[in-house]
């Protein structure tokens, strides 16, 4: 059970949040122009990294806001949190 520093509410227990998987996968603006392969890339392909991962979290039992988390999946250390639409404060580690 980690503690997540919600960018809106502050530090809260993990049980207040839900994880929305990998971050920065933008929904294509014009899906109809994509080939099956391109659409499948968006729809199904995820990195599932052991190590530093950029992920989306939702403070579902709090302010209901979505935001991004940079987390090391091997030890759960959270390196940064930042709001939707913001650039990651750390490029890579």
Partner 1 sequence: MLSFNSPINEEKKYNDLNIIEVEPIIKINLRSNKREFSTKIGKILSILPPNEANTSSGNEKFNLLWLSPDEWLIYSNDKEMSLDDQTNLEDKLFNEISKLNQGAVTNVSDHWVMINLNGNKVYDLLSKSCPYNFNDFKNKKGSVAQTIVNHINVILHHKQENNLNLFVRRSFSEDLWLWINDSARFI
Partner 2 sequence: MSNNLRINKNNFIDQTVRISFKFNGKKLFGYKGDTLASALLANNIHLVGRSFKYHRPRGIMTCGSEEPNAIVQIGNDPSLTDPNVRATEIELFEGLEAFSQNCWPSVNFDVGGINNFLSPLLPAGFYYKTFMWPASFWEKYEFFIRHSAGLGKSPTKPDQDLYDHQYAHFDVLVIGGGISGILSAKLSAEKGLNTMLVDDKNYLGGSTIYQDDNNFKINNENSNQWIKKQIEDLKKLPNLTIKNRTSVAAFHGYNYLLARENLNDHLSSYERKGNIRQRLWKIRAKKVVIATGAIERPLIFSNNDRPGIILSSSIKKYIDYYGVKTGENISLFTNNDSAYETAISLNKSGVKVKVIIDIRENSNSILSKQVERSGIKILKGYTVIDTDGYKKIKSFDVMKLSKDGGSVVGNKITYKCDCLGISGGWTPMVHLFTQSGGKLKFRNNDNVFIPDENKTPSKQISVGSSNGDFELDDVINNTVKNIKIFLGLDKNDLENLNIKCSKEKQKRNIWLLPSNKPISKTKPFLDFQNDSTAKDVKLALREGFKSIEHVKRYTTTGMGTDQGKLSNMHALGIIADTTGTNMGDLGTTTFRPPYTPLTFGAIVGRNVGKFFDHTRKTAIHDWHVKNKAQFENVGQWKRPWYFPKNGETMHQAVQRESKAARESAGILDASTLGKIDIQGEDASEFLNRVYTNAWSKLAIGKCRYGLMLNEDGMVYDDGVTTRLAENHYIMTTTTGGAANVLSKLEDYLQTEWPELNVYLTTVTDQYSTMSICGPNSKKIIKKIIPSLDLSDESFPHMSFKNSKINNVNCRIMRISFTGEHSYEINVQSNYAKDVWERCIEAGKEFNITPYGTETMHLLRAEKGFIITGQDTDGTLTPSDLQMDWIIGKMKYDFIGKRSLYRSDTIREDRKQLVGLLTDDPKEVLEEGAQLVESLDKPIEMLGHVTSSYFSPNLNKSIALAVVRSGKKLKGKKLIVPMENKNINVTITDTVFYDKENKRLNA
* Binding of residue 61 to partner 1 (CB under 8 A): yes
Q: In whole angstroms, give the CA distance from residue 82 to residue 28.
A: 22
Q: What secondary structure does DSSP assign to 10-79, as a single string?
A: EEEEGGG-EEEEES--PPPS-GGGS-HHHHHHHHH-----SSEEEEEEE-TTTT--EEEEEEETTT--EE
* Binding of residue 76 to partner 2 (CB under 8 A): yes
**Rg, the chain, Cα only:** 14
H or E element: which one contains 91?
none
Among 9, 40, 45, 90, binds partner 2 (CB under 8 A): 40
* Binding of residue 64 to partner 2 (CB under 8 A): yes
In the bound complex, what is the minimum distance in angstroms from residue 15's beta carbon to partner 2?
A: 10
87 binds, among partner 2, partner 1, none (CB under 5 to 8 A by kind): none
In the bound complex, what is the minimum distance in angstroms from residue 15's beta carbon to partner 1?
A: 5
Query: Contact residues for partner 2 (CB under 8 A)?
Result: 1-3, 13, 18, 20, 26-28, 30-32, 34, 36, 39-40, 43, 56, 58, 60, 64-66, 75-77, 84-85
């Amino acid at each position: 059970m980690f503690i997540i520093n919600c960018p809106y509410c502050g530090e809260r227990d993990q049980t207040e949040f839900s994880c929305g998987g990998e971050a920065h996968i933008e929904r294509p603006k014009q899906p109809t122009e994509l080939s099956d392969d391109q659409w499948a890339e968006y729809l199904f392909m995820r990195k599932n990294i052991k190590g530093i991962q950029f992920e989306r979290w939702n403070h579902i039992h709090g302010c209901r806001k979505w935001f991004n988390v940079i987390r090391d999946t091997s030890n759960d250390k959270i390196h940064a949190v930042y709001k939707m639409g913001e650039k990651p404060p750390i490029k890579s580690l």
